């Protein structure tokens, strides 16, 4: 299967600071990537669709000014949580879409964000 | 709007005792259904991709099937072992988009 990496795997930051999370597809080019967040014992919630070379598409209720997404190349998307607050603490998972016969999203290992 | 329901939410079973099924219902037409496994603190591991009506896939003690007419997929667990303890999610591709809509997840606990 394809490989998607995320960095960092965990981060602790203070309230009011910004945090950037990187998502890389290591062995294929991905014009489309996705960002999800997951609270403890809950399902994955899609936050936004990241499109290479264009603006991200955010799901309803997700603040685009708070969760900045940049898909600068075919292998890298970044999520920046701006002015983080404790309620932003969560597990953030990215995926990269590999088009083709299986048309499958490959998931990164996730980033655990704790805001103190 | 596509909605995905999964049940049960929680399954607890003793190793090897019985067979169990997790159900995944979805509300609108879709052309792809996925099953994933998630261990605590980890990301998703892909188990199965089901593409057509009547599709059946098996891997070890897990078997997944898809009935597109009933908009139902099942994940059948045969004589579970402790290694299968995890949370299982189904996800459905929203038709004509690239988005995946996830079910609520089923937490499976297998004890000796």
Would the CB atoms of B105 and A42 count as touching at under 8 Å? yes
- In Å, how far is A19's CA from the nearest CA of chain B? 20
What pLDDT sits at residue A72? Answer: 84
b/e per residue A40-67 (b: at least 16 CB within 10 A): eeebbbbbbbbbbeeebbbeeebeeeeb
**A59-87 pLDDT, tens per residue?**
999 999 999 999 989 999 999 999 999 99
**Under a CB-based contact definition with an 8 Å cutoff, are residues A49 and B98 in contact?**
yes
- In Å, how far is A108's CA from the nearest CA of chain B? 7
Would the CB atoms of A1 and B46 count as touching at under 8 Å? yes
Would the CB atoms of A105 and B100 count as touching at under 8 Å? yes
**B15-71 pLDDT, tens per residue?**
988 889 999 999 988 888 999 999 999 999 999 999 888 899 999 999 999 999 999
B1 touches chain A (CB under 8 A): no
C-alpha A108 chain-centroid distance: 9
How far is the C-alpha of B17 from the C-alpha of B31, rounded, in Å? 35
What pLDDT sits at residue B46? Answer: 94
What pLDDT sits at residue A7? Answer: 97
Would the CB atoms of B42 and A34 count as touching at under 8 Å? no
How far is the C-alpha of A51 from the C-alpha of A46, rounded, in Å? 14
Of A49, A102, A109, the CB nearest to B99: A49
B49 touches chain A (CB under 8 A): yes
Of A41, A44, A49, the CB nearest to B98: A49
* Nearest residue on chain B to A58, alpha-carbon basis: B99
**B75-109 pLDDT, tens per residue?**
999 988 999 999 999 999 987 888 999 999 999 99
* Nearest residue on chain B to A98, alpha-carbon basis: B98
What's the pLDDT band for A1 if we cut at 50, 70, 90? Answer: low
What pLDDT sits at residue B94? Answer: 85
B44 touches chain A (CB under 8 A): yes
């Amino acid at each position: 299967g394809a490989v998607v990496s995320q960095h960092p795997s965990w981060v602790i930051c203070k309230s009011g600071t910004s945090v950037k999370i990187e998502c890389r597809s290591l062995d294929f080019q991905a014009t489309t990537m996705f960002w999800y967040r997951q609270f403890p014992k809950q399902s994955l919630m899609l936050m936004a669709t990241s499109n290479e070379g264009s603006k991200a598409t955010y799901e309803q209720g997700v603040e685009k000014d708070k969760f900045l997404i940049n898909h600068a190349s075919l292998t890298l998307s970044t999520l920046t949580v701006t002015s983080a607050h404790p309620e932003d603490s969560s597990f953030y998972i990215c995926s990269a879409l590999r088009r083709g016969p299986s048309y499958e999203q490959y998931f990164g290992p996730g980033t655990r964000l704790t805001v103190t | 709007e596509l909605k995905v329901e999964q049940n049960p939410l929680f399954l607890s079973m003793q190793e090897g005792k019985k067979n169990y099924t997790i159900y995944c219902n979805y509300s609108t037409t879709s052309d792809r259904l996925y099953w994933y496994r998630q261990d605590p603190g980890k990301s998703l591991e892909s188990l199965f991709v089901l593409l057509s009506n009547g599709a059946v896939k098996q891997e070890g003690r897990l078997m997944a099937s898809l009935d597109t007419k009933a908009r139902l997929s099942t994940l059948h667990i045969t004589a579970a072992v402790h290694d299968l303890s995890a949370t299982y999610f189904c996800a459905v591709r929203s038709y004509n988009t690239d988005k995946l809509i996830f079910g609520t997840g089923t937490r499976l606990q297998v004890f000796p």
